[in-house]
Structures are given as structure tokens and as C-alpha cells.
Amino acid sequence: MSSAPAFKRLPRAVREQQMLDAAVKVFSRRGFHHASMDEIAEYAGISKPMVYAYLGTKEELFVACLHREGTRMMQAIAGAAAPDLPADVRLWRGLRAFFGFVGAHRDGWAVLYRQARGEQPFAGELATMRTRLVEVVAEMLDHALRAEGHEVGAVDLEVVAYALVGATESLADWLADRPEADPEKTATRMMNVAWLGAAQLLHGVTWRPPE
């Protein structure tokens, strides 16, 4: 009798998600360079040739992880922040969904924010996702400003959106390292920082340097 391990037949989509779950876990802990396809296959409970057959090389597998985690994050935010909500509620729900994603997918956040940003060509993939997130925040701010009868130039909107996204990412990284931290309370803290400043902007209040 053969001693080769027997693998339960599963639908391809289910099997791929198992592989991605395992890969995200290993990449988040080892980093891209030190992660091995052997360990990923072991976590997934399959053979290494099957990983290659389904998802390609290690580089292609890492990109697939980025796409899945990034898509999950953007879908969570978009699903929570409906465009017909008041500006503050929309921002709050978007932040709550974002920090909820980080709290529920800490390994996924580690892959997105820590492992990908310093590695080419993965940094480019991450930059594309980040640009989309900035666009979403800028659109939220523009919508809120117009509702209040104010208009702000595109560059100013972009700068504020980048600042909010950067601060939110930093706080998310803080949350990812603290399993005891509550994602909703973290979202509330970020909302207080973000909205108090945004509310001033909505009412046309700006700071200018002294002459």
C-alpha cells in the first residue's frame, strides 16, 4: 500500500481559500522571503505541488493574498459607509468597518501593511489599494463639504484624505499588536481625532500661519 497522504476532494474555490488562509498566516509570521511553500502546504493540509497547481509561484501566491485581503477590507468599508448617510455617520461606519476588519484579520493586516509595503513589486500592489482608499475618503469629504455649501480644491481634499488614511493605518497597526484592544473603541478614538478636525473644515474654518 502507498504511504502517500490522501487528501479529501473539495470544490476548487474552497480549496483555494484554505490555501490562502494558510498562506496569509505563514506570510504574516515569517515575511515573504522566509516563508516556505512547504510550510504553507502543511498548514493547508495539502501537498506542495497542489499549491503550485492552484495558485502558482510564491510570488503569485503572495499577490493573491494581497488581493483577497485588500478586497475584503474595501468591501467591508464600502458596505458600511452608504453614500446617503450623514457625513459623520458615514465616516464613523467606515472607520468601524475598517478597524473591525483589522481586529478580525490581524494576519491579513500584517500581510497588507507590514510585509507588502517594503517589497517590490508588492509595494506597487499595495499603493494601488491605498490610492483607492484615499479616493474613497476624499469623495466622502467632498460630498460632506458640498452638502454644507462649501467647496475645497482637489489638492486640499487629497491632502486631508492622505492624512486621515495615514493616521488610520498607524492606529490600525497599533491595534493589530494588541489582541486585548477593542476595534470599536479604537474606531471611536480615531473618529474623535478625525471628525473634530473635519467638522472645522466643513464649516470653513482653516488655520493660517502668522504673517
Same domain, 182 and 119: yes
pTM: 0.82
Q: In whole angstroms, what is the distance from residue 66 CA to residue 13 CA?
A: 17
Same domain, 15 and 70: no
**Percent helix / strand / coil, the chain, rounded to 5:** 75, 0, 25
End-to-end Cα, the chain, rounded Å: 87
Dihedral (Cα; 82, 83, 88, 90), 10-degree rounding:
20
Residues of the chain with pLDDT under 70: 1-8, 198-199, 201-203
Residue ranges making up the domain that contains 17: 10-56
| CATH code of the domain covering residue 52 | 1.10.10.60
- Per-residue pLDDT reduced to its tens digit, 92-131: 999 999 999 999 999 999 988 888 877 777 888 888 888 9
Same domain, 50 and 74: no
